[in-house]
Structure 1
Amino acid sequence: MAHGHMIPTVDMARLFARRGVKATIVSTPLNAPLCSKTIERDRQLGLDISIHIIKFPSAEAGLPEGCENLSSIPSPDMLPNFLKAIGMLQQPLEQLLEECHPSCLVADMLFPWATEAANKLRIPRLFFNGTGGFMTHCGWNSTLEGVTAGVPMVTWPLGAEQFCNKKLITDVLKIGIGVGAQEWSRYEKKIIVRKEDIEKAIIQLMVGEEAEEIRNRARVLKEMARRATKEGGSSYSDLTAFLEEL
Structure 2
Amino acid sequence: MTMFTDSQLKEIAAGLEASGSAVYLEDGPPSFDSDHEAIGAFVTHCGWNSTLEGITAGKPMVTWPIFAEQFYNEKLVTDVLKTGVGVGVKEWLRMHGDHVKSEAVEKTITQIMVGEEAEETRSRAKKLGETARKAVEEGGSSYSDFNALIEELRRRRP
The normalised TM-score by structure 1 is 0.46
Runs of 4+ in structure 1 deviating by more than 3 angstroms, as ranges, are none
Amino acid across the alignment from 2:104 = D
3-state SS of the aligned residue for 2:62? strand
Which of residues 105, 116, 121 is equivalent to 1:209? 116
- Number of residues of Structure 1 aligned to a counterpart in Structure 2: 121
Q: Distance in 2 between matches of 1:152 and 1:245?
A: 37
**What is the rounded CA distance, in whole Å, between the counterparts of 1:245 and 1:137 in structure 2?**
36
Choose the corresponding residue for 2:60, options 142, 152, 156. Answer: 152
Structure 2: tracts of 5 or more residues without a match: 1-32, 154-158
Within the candidate set 39, 44, 47, 1:139 is matched to 47
Between Structure 1 and Structure 2, whose CA radius of gyration is higher? 1
Q: How do 1:28-47 and structure 2 match up within 5 A?
A: none
Describe the SS at the equivalent of 1:183: coil
Q: Point out which structure has higher relative CO (alpha carbons under 8 A, 6+ apart).
A: 2
**Counterparts of residues 48-197 of structure 1 (less than 5 Å):** 129-186=37-94, 190-197=97-104
CA distance in 1, matches of 2:98, 2:131: 38
**C-alpha deviation, 1:238, in angstroms:** 1.9
Question: How has the CA–CA distance of structure 1 residues 163 and 149 changed in structure 2, closer, same or farther, with 3 Å as cutoff?
Answer: same
Does the 8 Å contact 2:92/2:98 carry over to 1? no
- SS of the equivalent of 1:186 reads helix
2:86 and 2:136 map into 1 onto residues whose CA distance is 28
Compute the TM-score of the two structures, normalised by the length of structure 2: 0.70
Bigger helix fraction: 2
